[in-house]
Amino acid sequence: MSQPRILVFAGSVRTGSFNARLAALAAKELTRLDAEVTLISLVDFPLPLYNADAEAESGVPENAVKLKRLFCRQHGVFIASPEYNASITPLLKNTLDWISRVREGREPPLAAFKNRVFALGAASNGTYGGMRSLIALRQVLELGCGALVLPEQIAVREAAVAFDEMDNLKDERTARLLTAVTERLVEAAQRFAS
């Protein structure tokens, strides 16, 4: 069996981001499951606010092309999504919008979202644990981009106290849920790696 390649990132670049911590923990779990993991920060891929006029004038930014190519090299993607006003962050939405605009050669539209599987997680200080952002992100990925998104997901509530000093989840039930989500992602990604 081929080792599945999985990209992991958070939709936040804030210092001390709960979702960056969740993404790092998911990457650790995925590595434990023998996946080839690439953990990135969107801070390394700055993009202007999407504007169709700017795209028509200047083309797609190089960082959008780099991200699209990075997505296309993967069998799976794990996104940790913060919740802003019951939705996803402007950073994450803008990133996905730009990636969706990249089309190279004869590849089909939305190539970055096809032939790979996505898993979602969120961490929030609120009692919903970012669940509303996961609903919004699922809509963008599935309906907007035609992506295959696993039904399993994780929402870490009261995130300020959810992680221990080693950045592991304190609550055993939540930790088991993350394990289940990552195991399912590796299993599904394996189908694309074969």
Q: Tens digits of per-residue pLDDT, 81-129?
A: 999 999 999 999 999 999 999 999 999 999 999 999 999 999 999 889 9
Q: Which of 16, 14, 8, 3 is nearest to 167 (CA)?
A: 16
pLDDT of residue 60: 97
Q: Is the pTM of this model over 0.85?
A: yes
pLDDT (tens digit per residue) in 69-82: 999 999 999 999 99
Q: Which of 74, 61, 154 is nearest to 111 (CA)?
A: 74
Neighbours of 191 (CB within 10 A): 11
pLDDT (tens digit per residue) in 125-144: 988 999 999 999 999 999 99
SS3 at position 41: coil
d(CA 45, CA 68): 11
Return the structure tokens found at 40.
Answer: 């990135």
Enumerate domains of the chain plus CATH numbers: 5-193 (3.40.50.360)
pLDDT (tens digit per residue) in 153-184: 999 999 999 999 999 999 999 999 999 999 99
pLDDT of residue 194: 80
